[in-house]
Homo-oligomer: A and B are copies of this chain.
Amino acid sequence: MTLYFDLSQTLPDAGPAPVGHDVGFCQQCEVRTSAICAVLAKDERAALNRLGRRVTICAGQTVMWEGDDATIVANVIQGTLKLSASTGDGREQIVGVVYPSDFIGRPFGRSTPHRVTALTDARLCLFTRGAFDGFARANPDLGHRLLQRTLDDLDRARTWMLLLGRKNAREKIATFLLDMSRRLATDGREPLDSFELPLSRQQVADVLGLTIETVSRQLTDMKRAGIIALPNRRTVDLLDRDRLVWCAEAA
């Protein structure tokens, strides 16, 4: 099997090389119940496993470039990544943030529309697009699960368009914090009242269509107002969720 992925990019200290074709892989996979593979029967999963390969990547590494031939797709097993688009002169917009069990890449298409970059060290379950496409066509359940996920992504993207087009800086920051508190709640389903941002200030700005200075100022204002606390650069405590919700809609 040819791997369309530059393994020189993987973590040097990633431990032993991925075992690759070991069928046991999926049985212990952290995201086996939540990724799209969850719908597969045991033997189907084994077949898919034979097509895939686990890779570990470092924070900051780009996995796919926009405009690339779409040669790979992947499930996120661990870590956080961003999808981004940019203008010719370098302005950047983050168009999506993906978490464990999310799916990345553009199946059934010629080229990858957006850049995919790791925000933290991450582990992916990687497939060549051709192999994945074939498997998905042959397994309607998998295709259906992918459809549901894509529909959800589309809803989320469109909801974010309202934020980008019509909300002011205060509302953007408040909405963003509430969204993070929900998205980062992996297990308990309860939105978190304290969490660690996987994003730098600049990246928050790139998600919200703002500048880093505006993000910083808004966060400071909210801190002064007692709505949030910022114990360190990456941690956010939501002290007054009600007021934050109010900020998010009617700043």
A143 touches which of B86, B106, B144 (Cβ 8 Å): B144
Q: In the complex, what's the smallest C-beta–C-beta distance from A203 to chain B, in angstroms?
A: 13
Bound together, the chains give a CA A154 to CA B95 distance in angstroms of 10
Q: CB distance A158 to B209 under 8 Å?
A: no
Q: Within 8 Å of chain B (Cβ to Cβ): is A91? A: yes
Q: In the complex, what's the smallest C-beta–C-beta distance from A5 to chain B, in angstroms?
A: 21
Q: Which residues of B have CB within 8 Å of A32?
A: none
A126-165 to B contact mask, C-beta < 8 Å, 1/0? 0000000000010010011011101101110111111011
Bound together, the chains give a CA A208 to CA B68 distance in angstroms of 28
Bound together, the chains give a CA A208 to CA B165 distance in angstroms of 7
Copies of this chain in its oligomeric complex: 2
Q: Which residues of B have CB within 8 Å of A88?
A: 249-250
Q: Within 8 Å of chain B (Cβ to Cβ): is A108? A: yes
Q: CB distance B108 to A166 under 8 Å?
A: no
Within 8 A of B (CB), among A148-194: 148, 150-151, 153-155, 157-162, 164-167
A161 touches which of B137, B143, B155, B164 (Cβ 8 Å): B164
Q: In the complex, what's the smallest C-beta–C-beta distance from A218 to chain B, in angstroms?
A: 16
Bound together, the chains give a CA A71 to CA B85 distance in angstroms of 35
Q: Which residues of B have CB within 8 Å of A106?
A: 151, 155
Bound together, the chains give a CA A12 to CA B250 distance in angstroms of 40
Q: Which residues of B have CB within 8 Å of A89?
A: 249-250
Q: Within 8 Å of chain B (Cβ to Cβ): is A198? A: no
Sample of 17 A–B contacts (CB below 8 Å): A85-B159, A87-B167, A91-B166, A95-B158, A95-B162, A106-B155, A114-B155, A114-B158, A143-B143, A143-B144, A143-B147, A150-B150, A150-B151, A150-B154, A160-B161, A161-B161, A161-B164
